[in-house]
Amino acid sequence: MAAVPSPNPPVSTNPPSISHPFQPRTTFRPRFTLPVASNPQKRHRLHISNVLSDSKPTTASTTTRSPLPAEPFVSRYAPDQPRKGSDVLVEALEREGVTDVFAYPGGASMEIHQALTRSKTIRNVLPRHEQGGVFAAEGYARASGLPGVCIATSGPGATNLVSGLADALLDSVPIVAITGQVPRRMIGTDAFQETPIVEVTRSITKHNYLVLDVEDIPRVVREAFYLASSGRPGPVLIDVPKDIQQQLVVPKWDEPMRLSGYLSRSPKPPNEAHLEQIIRLITESKRPVLYTGGGCLDSSVELRRFVELTGIPVASTLMGLGAYPASDDLSLQMLGMHGTVYANYAVDKSDLLLAFGVRFDDRVTGKLEAFASRAKIVHIDIDSAEIGKNKQPHVSICGDIKIALQGLNRILEQKSEMNNLDFSSWRKELDEQKSTHPLSFKTFGDAIPPQYAIQVLDELTGGNAIISTGVGQHQMWAAQFYKYNRPRQWLTSGGLGAMGFGLPAAIGAAVAKPDAIVVDIDGDGSFMMNVQELATIRVENLPVKILLLNNQHLGMVVQWEDRFYKANRAHTYLGNPEKESEIFPNMLKFAEACDIPAARVTKIGDLRAAIQKMLDTPGPYLLDVIVPHQEHVLPMIPAGGGFMDVITDGDGRIKY
């Protein structure tokens, strides 16, 4: 049965190449392209509304085919052998190269789990909560660049995926979520554990399906993976009624995809004249700055070459950390609300802002009219909805940043006069700002500054660890004080700011990258929200290290209370009010309950040895680092403020 095309016009993406070989999931799968276009940028989402799988193909539909496998797929079934819809679904995942899923069973998804037990190639990492499963799928996708897969049952199982789907949409993360649903005849009757998850997730998925014909499963799964990973990546949900899972069918694996509306809006290669115009603006500029975001994660090589050719300094968004090496002299590190003074200074004083793969988020811009107010703005983004949405550019290109950078680099290499670009005086001015306003922190006796804990972790891991975080002060300190020199080693919930993200995301990263050092830098508030996933880590024996910065408070909210609410505490203390001198809850007991080694450190002099022991201990480990709750994340530009409003001093020990 055909999928009814979405009534809402989708935004751009790149279509698949018929001839592109299938790559095994253990390696990075090349993104799909047309002969006229290059690899789509792994960032921006496309919005198309929800569709029902219907038996009548539309006459307007055109067809495209998914990549052909390098080697023929060997099914465990004979070609004409009937099998359950659930087995078709699992085999469809196998054909997409899936080797790991994060699935929690229930009544409406039991058939899928039974089929998973018959798969010889797919491993299920069993989360202890569906939210843990979807965040783990996100961690897998963020660390590997491949779509993560999570599976849940109907009703509460499906609704427990909502935060993860919203998070993946806002941060442009490719995941495929599969949910069981009540049988077709019971849909709409308020049956046990029935929720209309297609409707619930309408605005927080890139696309979703309710499968009403078992014969549609192969095509729907192929489309879901293509949609999730092409153009601006995002989450796709497939809702499968239980009777569809149980129905016998002989699948048709060569059914073509029907994505005519989506493909018709694919971005074109950038116009050469536009690229020349950008080069001209660069030559005319005296104080240019690169403002790079998550859209550049898969264009790191091209970005580094562009900076090498131009000498333009680079400021990164929270989502873009690692696209350009933070330890490089031309890196200004992070800009925005808690960005470095020198990154925000550079943007404020710039006369040319090259905004690549970004969306001018409010936590970056602050007061929009004051942001880069002296600069001409060049905006390159694959999502046309982002061009001019918040800040009107002088020159814009809607397209893949990788192709655009390749084009810009080619022009720069061909034009001999480009060798005369000289921004040394501008860089010297910024170097002075780096010297005058470095990232710093204070120490108080034996107390452990949380910033110092992250700095020591950076030193002891050589900056090579994959870092996940929860949300709050610890997240911002992890962005500031750990130096990310390559893409996909920084996993955090940026747009949604979902507490509880760090631990399950680390699980996904450890599954995707089993040989990597994976550290969850977490806060006690965020950690508690998905603490049950310690059981998953232990049972799967995943070498996830947890650096828990424990201040007994909701630190970021406390910081705002200190600054803007006269330090009035409004339910932000997480300890036991009757025993304030004790650490509560005892995080070491959680670790002990799950048979995970753990230790607590309270003095700065003991910290380095404690972190080294955590890293040296095989398997998982929890280190409970007790830090002062009075620490503030600085610099800070208050919400709605501009660079001139930046706060660089003070903490909770001072009254405001």
Q: Which residues are catalytic?
A: 130, 192-193, 242, 556
Q: Which residues are bridge partners to 469 per DSSP?
A: 521
Read out DSSP for 409-470?
HHHHHH-GGGGG---HHHHHHHHHHHHHS-------TT---HHHHHHHHHHHHTT-SEEEE-
Nearest C-alpha neighbor of 158 from the set 76, 227, 237, 102:
237
CA-closest candidate to residue 147, choices 85, 209, 101, 87:
101
Gap between the terminal Cα atoms of the chain: 64
Rounded Cα–Cα distance for residues 154 and 241 (Å)? 9
Helix (H) or strand (E) holding 555: helix 555-564
Report DSSP state, residue 386: G
Question: What tokens appear for 501 in the block?
Answer: 């993200």
DSSP-derived letter for residue 293 is -
In degrees and rounded to multiples of 5, residue 237 shows phi and psi of -115, 140
CA distance 477 to 500: 17
Q: Kindly report the three-state secondary structure assignment for every residue of 145-194.
A: CCCEEEEECCCHHHHCCHHHHHHHHHHCCCEEEEEEECCHHHCCCCCCCC
Q: Helical H runs in 118-155?
A: 130-144
Determine which helix (DSSP H) or strand (DSSP E) holds 551, and give its type and residue range.
none
- Residues pairing with 178 in the sheet: 151, 238
Question: How many CB atoms sit inside 10 A of residue 472's CB?
Answer: 25
Q: 167 forms bridges with which residues in the sheet?
A: none
Going through 47-105 in order, the beta strands assigned E by DSSP cover: 51-52, 83-84, 100-103
Minimal CA–CA distance to 68: which of 18, 14, 15, 16? 18
Half-sphere exposure of 480 (CA within 13 A, CB side): 28
Distance of CA 343 to the CA centre of its chain: 23
Spatial distance between the Cα atoms of 84 and 243, rounded to a whole number of angstroms:
10
**350 vs 157: CA distance, rounded Å:** 49
Give CA–CA dist 243/85, Å, rounded: 9
